[in-house]
Chains A and B, each alone.
Chain A
């Protein structure tokens, strides 16, 4: 099979790729200090919202056995309703600070705002 291991253009390809990655990273950073709310179902990320830049109300209905409704509005995110029995998720209230977390155990749904600087939360 003909061909060389490495040519000039290879370095170009690698260079472009690295620059592209850095650009992606930069734009993804969303600026220092933005509160990014993440909704995960069964540990899988299903939705991500930048609470500091969103303008209109967003309603999220994750695909779970329980009718969970999550609302992100005015820079806050919260469980609006859920058909689970204890509704601790709803009782947790509005999340607005980094690290704030609300969990619906039966629906295996977790809503949390990233950037919380602690390793763990005790409660």
Chain B
């Protein structure tokens, strides 16, 4: 043992093993998945990415979300653009974000005002999510409502102007905007597949099939599964943020017409769209509009949706009818007429 011939044979075997090991490691590296969760936009966020740049991509998602939250969209962060807008009555919108403001303005008009991003002052009256949760007086609400209204906001491409007395609130669009920005970023990174969840607003990115569970309204698991290819999914529900007083539940999705929590016979709306911003906006708008008008609005924008009404009946738009599986039999699909 130990003479040249057998020795080099052993070395060859060793080299082969090493090459196999290296190949194995490389394969693991390209499959590699990285997950992280964090808190931003006032909710629980999580990212799961597969790809050579998995870790960087996951951190990028966090970075984008936190940046948008603190520096651009938050109503409460003093560094944010919206904060300045509400304080000064006008603000210059950076060009990379103007498309979102256009989308929001468009959605306001197309939805007949059901989606309105100027209800900050009325939300403040209700104080949901703070220590001041209360049922405001009728005249308080009316006074604040008179001053609100996205039709009073003017966006002329570069500058956004709003009158005094109203407060722009990006709560119904912020997560969707973040998802769109993240998707944009991933376009130039080595990401094979990614699932980003920002408080239940989801970005599905990459080739292949995905499954998204729709949370049981008021529960902890899911009552249905959507089988989708890459896209964005958002849900608005009356069970997410609310307080109860004297046996009445007051939830956080306000009807812009009345200033009170929307009461349209629905318990949740899930919207599927290529655009994160649209899925977020439309889920709120459809919740306010109710089933019939909500369906019409989705059709206008080319999006699909799942509506769950207060009687646990599930209504689905045609485009995703065959992609939805109900897994909890306390819910029934509405039969199409």
A and B assemble together: yes
Does A118 reach chain B (CB closer than 8 Å)?
Answer: yes
> Are A120 and B197 in contact, CB atoms less than 8 angstroms apart?
yes
Q: A interface, how many residues as a size bin?
A: 20 to 34
Q: Are B200 and A123 in contact (CB under 8 A)?
A: yes
Give the residue of B11, B131, B212 whose beta carbon is less than 8 angstroms from that of A122: B212
Residue B161 interfacial (CB < 8 Å): no
Residues 98 to 122 of chain A near chain B (Cβ within 8 Å): 98-103, 105, 108, 110, 116-122
A122 CB contacts on chain B under 8 angstroms: 197, 200-202, 212-215, 233-235, 270
Interface string of B212-240 (1 = CB under 8 A from A): 11110001111001000000011101001
CB of A118 within 8 A of CB of B211, answer yes
A64 to B10, CA, bound (A): 55
| Residues of B with C-beta under 8 A to A119 | 48, 195, 204, 210-212
Query: At the interface with chain A, which of B36-44, B98-106, B109-117?
Result: B36-44
Number of B residues near A (Cβ < 8 Å) is: 38
Q: A5-B10, A5-B11, A6-B10 are in contact. Are A118 and B37 (CB under 8 A)?
A: no
CB of B29 within 8 Å of the partner chain: no
Closest residue on chain A to residue B234 by CB atoms? A122
- Contact call B212/A108, Cβ cutoff below 8 A: no
Question: Is the CB of A92 closer than 8 A to any CB of chain B?
Answer: yes
Output the least CB separation between B223 and chain A (Å).
10
Q: Does A93 contact B (CB under 8 A)?
A: yes
Q: In the bound complex, what is the Cα–Cα distance between A17 and B129 (angstroms)? A: 53
Min C-beta distance of B65 to chain A, whole Å: 15
Q: How far is the CA of A76 from the CA of B62 in the complex (A)?
A: 32
Q: A93-B219, A105-B43, A110-B37 are in contact. Are A120 and B13 (CB under 8 A)?
A: no
Q: Mark A3-26, 1 if CB is under 8 A from B, else 0.
A: 011100000000000000000000
Cα distance A48–B101 in the bound complex, in angstroms: 45
Contacts of A108 in B (CB 8 A): 39
The answer to whether B14 and A99 have CB atoms under 8 Å apart is no
A-B contacts, 11 of them at CB < 8 A, read: A4-B10, A5-B11, A95-B221, A102-B220, A116-B222, A121-B212, A122-B197, A122-B214, A122-B233, A123-B215, A123-B235
**Known contacts A116-B213, A117-B225, A120-B210; 10 further A-B pairs (Cβ under 8 A):** A4-B10, A5-B11, A86-B129, A94-B220, A95-B220, A98-B221, A118-B222, A120-B197, A121-B213, A123-B237
Q: Chain B: residues with CB nearer than 8 A to chain A?
A: 1-2, 10-11, 13-14, 36-37, 39, 43-44, 48, 129, 131, 195, 197, 199-202, 204, 210-215, 219-222, 225, 233-235, 237, 240, 270
Query: Would you list the 5 A-B pairs with minimal beta carbon distance, nearest first?
Result: A123-B215, A123-B200, A118-B213, A100-B221, A100-B220
